[in-house]
Structure 1
Amino acid sequence: MDFLRPTTLAEALTMKSENPGAIPIAGGTDVMVEINFDHRRPAALLDLNRVAELYDHSFVDGRLRIGANVPYTRIIAELGHRLPGLAMAARTVGSPQIRNRGSVGGNLGAASPAGDSHPALLAAEAEVELASARGTRIVAARDFYLGVKRNVLEPDELISAVWLDPATGPQQFSKIGTRNAMVIAVCAFGLALHADRKQVGTGIGSAAPTPRRAVDAEEFINGELDGLWESPRALNDSVKRRFGELVAQAASPIDDVRGSAEYRKHALAVIARRTLGWAWDEYRGGGRKCA
Structure 2
Amino acid sequence: MEFLRPTSWGEALAAKADAPGAVPIAGGTDVMVELNFDKHRPEALLDLNRVGELATWSEEEDGRLRVGAAVPYARIIGELGGRLPGLAMAARTVGSPQIRNRGTVGGNLGAASPAGDSHPPLLAADAEIEVESAARGTRMIPAGEFYTGVKRSALAPDELIRAFHVRPAEGPQQFSKIGTRNAMVIAVCSFGLALHPSDQRIGTGIGSAAPTPRRAFEAEEYAAGELDWAGRSPLDERVARRFGELAARAAAPIDDVRGTAEYRLHALSVMARRTLTWAWKDYLNGGATACA
Paired with 1:201 and 1:217, the residues of 2 have a C-alpha distance of 9
Paired with 1:3 and 1:196, the residues of 2 have a C-alpha distance of 48
User: 2:199 aligns to what?
Assistant: 197
User: 2:290 aligns to what?
Assistant: 289
> 1:122-169, CA deviations, whole angstroms, 9 ceiling, x for partnerless residues?
000100000111200000000000000000111110000000001000
Paired with 1:60 and 1:194, the residues of 2 have a C-alpha distance of 20
Shift in Å at residue 286 of structure 1? Answer: 7.3
User: 1:111 aligns to what?
Assistant: 112
Shift in Å at residue 179 of structure 1? Answer: 1.4
Q: Size of the alignment, in residue pairs?
A: 289
Q: After TM superposition, list the pairs within 5 Å mapping 1:53-92 onto structure 2.
A: 53-61=53-61, 62-92=63-93
Paired with 1:4 and 1:115, the residues of 2 have a C-alpha distance of 26
Paired with 2:46 and 2:286, the residues of 1 have a C-alpha distance of 48
3-state SS of 1:196 partner: helix
User: 2:185 aligns to what?
Assistant: 183
Q: After TM superposition, list the pairs within 5 Å mapping 1:163-178 onto structure 2.
A: 163-178=165-180
Runs (4+) off by over 6 Å? none
Paired with 1:197 and 1:105, the residues of 2 have a C-alpha distance of 28
Q: After TM superposition, list the pairs within 5 Å mapping 1:20-99 onto structure 2.
A: 20-61=20-61, 62-99=63-100
Paired with 1:196 and 1:86, the residues of 2 have a C-alpha distance of 20
Shift in Å at residue 229 of structure 1? Answer: 1.4
Paired with 1:142 and 1:114, the residues of 2 have a C-alpha distance of 15
TM-score, normalised to structure 1, is 0.98
Paired with 1:97 and 1:151, the residues of 2 have a C-alpha distance of 27
- The 1:151/1:182 distance shift into structure 2, 3 A limit, reads same
TM-score, normalised to structure 2, is 0.98
Letter in 1 for 2:256: D
Q: 2:220 aligns with which of 213, 218, 221?
A: 218
> 1:21-67, CA deviations, whole angstroms, 9 ceiling, x for partnerless residues?
10000001011100110001111000001100100100002110000
Paired with 1:237 and 1:178, the residues of 2 have a C-alpha distance of 28
RMSD: 0.9
Paired with 2:193 and 2:45, the residues of 1 have a C-alpha distance of 36
Tell me if 1:102 matches 2:103.
yes
Letter in 1 for 2:144: R
3-state SS of 2:262 partner: helix
Runs of 5+ unmatched residues, structure 2: none
User: 2:241 aligns to what?
Assistant: 241
Paired with 2:230 and 2:75, the residues of 1 have a C-alpha distance of 34
Paired with 1:258 and 1:18, the residues of 2 have a C-alpha distance of 39
Paired with 2:184 and 2:154, the residues of 1 have a C-alpha distance of 28
Shift in Å at residue 233 of structure 1? Answer: 1.1
User: 1:15 aligns to what?
Assistant: 15
> 1:175-225, CA deviations, whole angstroms, 9 ceiling, x for partnerless residues?
001112111000000000011211100000000000000000001001102
Letter in 1 for 2:75: R
> 1:262-289, CA deviations, whole angstroms, 9 ceiling, x for partnerless residues?
0000000001000000000000007871
Q: Sequence identity of aligned pairs in percent?
A: 71
Paired with 2:200 and 2:181, the residues of 1 have a C-alpha distance of 35
Paired with 2:9 and 2:93, the residues of 1 have a C-alpha distance of 29
Paired with 1:187 and 1:71, the residues of 2 have a C-alpha distance of 23
Letter in 2 for 1:178: T
Letter in 2 for 1:143: E
Paired with 1:63 and 1:150, the residues of 2 have a C-alpha distance of 26
Letter in 1 for 2:41: R
Q: 2:143 aligns with which of 141, 144, 158?
A: 141
